[in-house]
Amino acid sequence: MKHKSAIRSAARCVARTAAFLMPLLLLTSYAFGQQDYVGRWDAYGGYMYLNSPYINLGENGFHFQAGMRLTNWLSSGFDYSVGTGNNVLTPNMLIPSLQTTIGGELRQLAAAGLLPSGYQLNLPVSTKTQSFTVGPQIAYRHFSKVTFFIRPNLGTLQVVATPHPGDPIATGVVAQLAPSGKKTDWTYYWGVGGGMEFNVNRHFALRVQADVVHDYMFNDLLPGTNAIRFSIGPGFQWGRNVVKR
């Protein structure tokens, strides 16, 4: 049920983003006419927010993209983002086998009179997440002032999690889950992304985009989770014009 709730939360975030962007789409409906310049090369750098609702984790950071336009509608490029954040891990977020194991240990402590009354296991964790993606992007350039784009997402994720236990019981749990004091995982993710560029001039634009992905980080601890990445910042294009004449 928690996993389904996370999916619904992700869907609500996407819906809110669409509702926010719709007025911008209406405002740009006057800008008919295909773009007469599409540079061979483009680059982007901006603010990024990564939200993993199942584990209540939000990370702020930086997003970078660089690509080559193969045609006026198809690009191939590299996507990188990095962000840091904090959350509180609770037993109900873990895979069922770990929930059972930790629940049994807590019951043993309670039976021995070593568990404080009303004790709840909460584990603060700081995280750093990096994503790496290479792939295509499809653009729609029917409007001169706005470019829409969509892309598949299949990439690699590195997550470093550092727990900060606040009591001896939590310290004992960390010793089991992350004996070195932190835990690093490389995994993959898949999903879809897209957005729009507001073309200020031939070489500069404001890019707004979002990606919805499913990942398998720390699959020895967590079930597969959904994440949403929002990003906004300046985009640049230069080089030979790839628009067909």
3-state secondary structure 18-47: HHHHHHHHHHCCCCECCCCCCEEEEEEEEE
Alpha-carbon span 211 to 6, nearest angstrom: 15
For the chain, how many helices (H) and strands (E)? 3, 8
43-59 pLDDT per residue, tens: 999 999 999 999 999 99
Residue 1: its pLDDT value, please?
A: 47
Token representation of residue 77: 């490029």
92-119 pLDDT per residue, tens: 999 999 999 999 999 998 888 888 888 9
Share of the chain above pLDDT 90, in %: 76
Report how far apart, in Å, the C-alpha atoms of 59 and of each of 30, 49, 174, 191, 243 are.
36, 6, 22, 19, 38
Residue 245: its pLDDT value, please?
A: 52
CA-closest candidate to residue 132, choices 113, 159, 170: 159
pLDDT of 10 strictly over 70 = no
> What's this model's pTM, rounded to 2 decimal places?
0.83
Alpha-carbon span 121 to 105, nearest angstrom: 12
Please indicate whether residue 104 or residue 25 has the higher confidence score (pLDDT).
104
Domains annotated for the chain, with CATH where assigned, are 2-112+124-241 (2.40.160.20)
Give yes or no for a contact between 157 and 83, defined as CB atoms under 8 angstroms apart: no
pLDDT of 17 strictly over 90 = no
| 16 secondary structure, DSSP code | H
